[in-house]
Structure 1
Amino acid sequence: MTNVITICQKELKSYFSSPIAYLLMAMFAIVFGFFFWNAVGYFVNVSFQSQAMGRSFPMDVNEMIIRPLLMNVSVIGLFLIPLISMRLFSEEKRSGTIELLLTSPIHDAEIIIGKWLAAVALYGCILLISGLNFFFLFAYGKPDWKPLVIGYLGLILQAGALLAIGAFVSTLTRNQIIAGAVTFSVCLLLWVFEWVAGYETSTWAAVMGYMSVVRHFEPFSKGVLDTRDAVYFASMIFLGLFLTARSLESLRWRA
């Protein structure tokens, strides 16, 4: 466990010692800030219109602001996750330090988990920026905090699954651009698999629909914690890390 923490800290330090982490945070802050401003503005506008027309009805902050914003963050993650994961092993291969890493007395599982945890931690730091926006929402409104917590849990699980896949892709090439592009393509496919189930009812379409991350994240965005969705993301994480381990093992044998 000590080796895992050491590798995680080293990887996090490499993120924050370069412009990568700060650039990703700035990009997320700008994009999410616009989404938050737009969602709150729409909520206030609808509220004023209903009052002006004498049709006052309860406005659900969670349903009209928090849930759409969580879905927006999930979409933003499709672009940020490849940028986070593309350097995990590609950079090691490009700089030639992968041989030193593989011949060190540290187990492959410790290397993989340490790097993956660092990527998840960086994504968590990025999500904290959205928490600043939600702080003002709680300061001036009365939303229910439980769906928000469950939504954040879903975001972390989704990111963990996609980052595990990105880690595997990163072991396949020394070019970070290629690793990022392939990871984005895989993430996008896992996002749009749900579309097939909308017009096809055969077994293969049902399987593709089940593989979609949208289907399993949507309940989290509604504040619903379903063990089936948690198991799906846990299985995706295990599969991604397992494939990464096998890929590193093949590199060790070829070296």
Structure 2
Amino acid sequence: MLIQYLVIFTVFATNFVNGYETDFNNSTANTTNKTSKYESDRSNNVVVVQNFCFSGDSHVQLIDGTSKKIGELQSGDLVYAYDGFKLVSAEMIMMLDRQASTKTIFHTLKTESDHQLSLTSYHLIAIVSSNGKPTYKPAKDLQIHDRLFILSNNQLVSSPIVEIIIDIKTGYYAPFTSQGVLFVNGILSSCYANVKSHDAAHFYMSSLKWLYYISRFLMINDPFGTSSKDGIHWIPRLMFEFGQRFRPSTLLL
């Protein structure tokens, strides 16, 4: 029955799609002030078709003060998030995608505060807007001096980007939280990618969030079965396929 509800959900959630990035050249073209360590080398079993993920060497700080490698996050973990006004807690719902040993291409961001984060080209990340609120842009569109939200000593601060590198790393993960955001390596990031609007994506994913809460109320732990399995979960895969067919204008490809 749970699977049937999820299939129905994907039909009505076609505005939000997390999908594959299909062209590394497009993702790295016209990247002012960015340097690339891999301008043309696609050898060494590097996956050029990318997913919507963070690199496997990333860490996430939990509310209890401990830190976990991103690949070790489990359903029910409480992490730091930001609701646009204050720091809040967010519950880890599921891992949308995981590949522990696959090499892929990332945009590695380095800030003046010495924070660093690697994420794929079309993954959305929060930058500080003119009114001090977060606005979300794909990693490929970030520029030097864009300011990022930083979690430092349990306080929210900002710091400018000082370097952007196109890099290759092994392993990638895509966590989804109840707030649709989380701090990865201390940097505020969206859980969504390949979509034009973070807010719209979070609205459509709210159905999945409430389904998760209902499942937990019924004492179903890890209701989506994503605690340790490698590969993209069937939910975002179906949403990508529906989005391509019915709402391609909502995608960033």
**TM-score under structure 1 normalisation?**
0.29
Considering fraction of residues, name the structure with more helix: 1
Q: Relative to total residues, which structure has the larger strand share, 1 or 2?
A: 2
Which protein shows a greater Rg? 1
